[in-house]
């Protein structure tokens, strides 16, 4: 858990009252309306489909761009990445993030996490409970006997205050109140998404609390580097910079000790297609219904960040490199996509037609002392960032 000295100006921003932030969000929405309307590309949804009121707060669509032709659409419902447009190896604009064309589609989806900012605690907490100091906390349980991604109403289901800082930067702010979903402390969360000059999407996470708590924020974008609606992701080539991973039980809870990937279907230390071993007769593959495991990053550095993974679309030639300050990466191979939802392009979310790569601290860390800690105390700052960097094969 990376902690730094907190600056007052950021605290003031995080603590701004709902009405002020809503006005700022409204101005930001108005400022981006022209950009969204004038976007010639088909992958930017109609902003009017994102204008509604949920829990008394207005939602909208926000469009980012950089000078290299990248664009992204976000909504403050769940702090979601709706679409992400990058050029493929032939210069063709490609939407590499699957998503929906309206807020109501996100609300009604059988998969609640498409593109969402995840919190207060990404991944699972066993049996929905943990102990801080001498007090045991009981969380809302929403994944069998466990708590997944913050509980029944995690950060994916709330309306964040939104401030578009410039053409390439959007900031989402949310106050998670004391004992929301069972988590202690009023948590001020600030998440900033921005384009870098060299075609990276930077995800910055900050949080403070007034009581001891646990925090593990991430983003749950579902990717297909060949483009939304292009079919299976099993022929993508993947390299994960991890020599170890955390084995799980049948409830996706880590068994405790980490294990070597060598000699297992989890060895992506050299480039390997996603589907080459996904159906192996392996207990961990069976437990996860495919890949749905945390990889322990081995510390390979690029610009002082952990190089987490490199993924290449087999049809598009699009390369995504993931860099992070986090110690872990959850690789999810779309095992629970069953064609029940319709994406923006009209295609269905068929089995393994998208994948997720969530930078994170390890699942169930509050209950496993040997894992990197996820505790946050008053006066400290949770602060971490990750970058999803895009290029094409040479």
- Residue 203: what pLDDT? 98
Whether residue 1 is predicted with pLDDT greater than 60 in this model: the reply is: no
**Is 371 part of a structural domain of the chain?**
no
CB 343 within 8 A of CB 99: yes
For residues 242 and 341, membership in a common domain is answered with yes
Sequence-separated (6 or more) residues with CB below 8 Å from residue 250 = 287
Whether residue 37 is predicted with pLDDT greater than 90 in this model: the reply is: no
Q: What CATH number is given to the structural domain containing 279? A: 2.70.98.10
Number of domains, the chain? 2
Within 83-178, residue ranges assigned H as helices are 103-108
CB 26 within 8 A of CB 58: yes
For residues 167 and 233, membership in a common domain is answered with no
14 vs 261, higher pLDDT: 261
- Residue 394: what pLDDT? 86
DSSP one-letter string for 189-256 = EEEEEEE-TTSEEEEEEEEEESS-EE-B-EEE-EE-TT-TTS--STTSEEEE-EEEEE-B-TTS-B-S
**Is 78 part of a structural domain of the chain?**
yes
Tokens 């952990």 belong to residue: 306
Residues 330-344 have a mean pLDDT of 98
Mean pLDDT computed over every residue of the chain: 92
For residues 211 and 169, membership in a common domain is answered with yes
For residues 17 and 91, membership in a common domain is answered with yes
Whether residue 337 is predicted with pLDDT greater than 90 in this model: the reply is: yes
pTM, whole model, 2 decimals? 0.90
For residues 15 and 112, membership in a common domain is answered with yes
Residues 93-102 have a mean pLDDT of 98
**Residue (of 241, 326, 257, 246) closest to 288 by Cα position:** 246
Distance CA 348, CA 109 (A): 12
Residues 138-176: tens digit of each pLDDT: 999 999 999 999 999 999 999 999 999 999 999 999 999
Residues 226-263: tens digit of each pLDDT: 999 999 999 999 999 999 999 999 999 999 899 999 99
For residues 177 and 249, membership in a common domain is answered with no
Residues 121-138: tens digit of each pLDDT: 999 999 999 999 999 999
Whether residue 23 is predicted with pLDDT greater than 70 in this model: the reply is: no
Two tokens, residue 197: 């000059």
For residues 150 and 248, membership in a common domain is answered with no
Whether residue 361 is predicted with pLDDT greater than 70 in this model: the reply is: yes
For residues 258 and 207, membership in a common domain is answered with no
- Residue 41: what pLDDT? 55
Distance CA 343, CA 334 (A): 15
**Is 126 part of a structural domain of the chain?**
yes
Alpha-carbon torsion, ordered 148, 330, 351, 155, to 10 deg: 40
- Residue 25: what pLDDT? 45
Two tokens, residue 94: 């490609």
Residues 260-316: tens digit of each pLDDT: 999 999 999 999 999 999 999 999 999 999 999 999 999 999 999 999 999 999 999
Instruction: Check the CA dihedral 132-134-140-143 and report its sign.
Output: positive
**Is 389 part of a structural domain of the chain?**
no
**Helix (H), strand (E) counts: the chain:** 4, 30
Annotated catalytic residues are 220, 358
Q: What is the extent of the structural domain holding 84? A: 8-222
Which stretch of DSSP H or E encloses residue 30? helix 18-38
Which residue, of 197, 222, 247, is where some domain finishes? 222
Sequence-separated (6 or more) residues with CB below 8 Å from residue 381 = 3, 4, 5, 6, 206, 207, 208
Residues 194-221 have a mean pLDDT of 97
CB 69 within 8 A of CB 39: no
């Amino acid at each position: 858990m990376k902690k730094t000295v907190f600056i007052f100006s950021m605290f003031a921003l995080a603590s701004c009252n709902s009405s002020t932030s809503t006005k700022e969000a409204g101005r930001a929405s108005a400022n981006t309306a022209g950009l969204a309307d004038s976007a010639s590309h088909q992958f930017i949804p109609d902003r009017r489909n994102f204008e509604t009121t949920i829990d008394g707060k207005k939602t909208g669509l926000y469009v980012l761009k950089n000078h290299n032709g990248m664009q992204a659409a976000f909504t403050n419902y769940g702090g979601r990445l709706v679409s992400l447009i990058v050029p493929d190896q032939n210069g063709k604009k490609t939407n590499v993030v699957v998503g929906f064309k309206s807020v109501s589609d996100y609300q009604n989806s059988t998969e609640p996490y498409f593109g969402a900012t995840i919190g207060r605690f990404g991944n699972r907490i066993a049996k929905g409970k943990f102990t801080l100091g001498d007090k045991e906390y009981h969380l809302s349980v929403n994944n069998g006997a466990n708590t997944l991604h913050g509980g029944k109403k995690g950060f994916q289901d709330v309306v964040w205050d939104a401030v578009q800082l410039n053409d390439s930067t959007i900031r989402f702010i949310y106050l998670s109140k004391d004992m929301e979903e069972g988590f202690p402390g009023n948590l001020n969360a600030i998440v900033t998404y921005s384009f870098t000059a060299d075609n990276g999407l930077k995800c910055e996470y900050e949080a403070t609390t007034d009581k001891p708590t646990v925090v593990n924020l991430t983003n749950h974008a579902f990717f297909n580097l060949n483009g939304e609606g292009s079919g299976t992701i099993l022929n993508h080539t993947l390299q994960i910079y991890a020599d170890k991973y955390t084995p799980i039980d049948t409830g996706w809870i880590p068994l405790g000790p980490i294990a070597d990937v060598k000699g297992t279907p989890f060895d992506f230390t050299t480039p390997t297609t996603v589907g080459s071993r996904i159906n192996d007769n392996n207990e961990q593959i069976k437990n996860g219904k495919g890949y749905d495991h945390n990889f322990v990053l081995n510390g390979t550095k690029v610009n002082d960040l952990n190089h987490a993974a490199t993924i290449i679309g087999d049809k598009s030639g699009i390369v995504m490199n993931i860099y992070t300050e986090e110690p872990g990466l959850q690789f999810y191979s779309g095992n629970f996509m069953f064609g029940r939802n319709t994406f923006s392009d009209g295609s269905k979310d068929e089995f393994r037609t998208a994948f997720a790569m969530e930078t994170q601290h390890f699942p169930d860390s509050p209950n496993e002392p040997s894992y990197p800690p996820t505790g946050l105390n008053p006066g400290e700052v949770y602060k971490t960032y990750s970058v999803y960097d895009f290029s094409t094969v040479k």
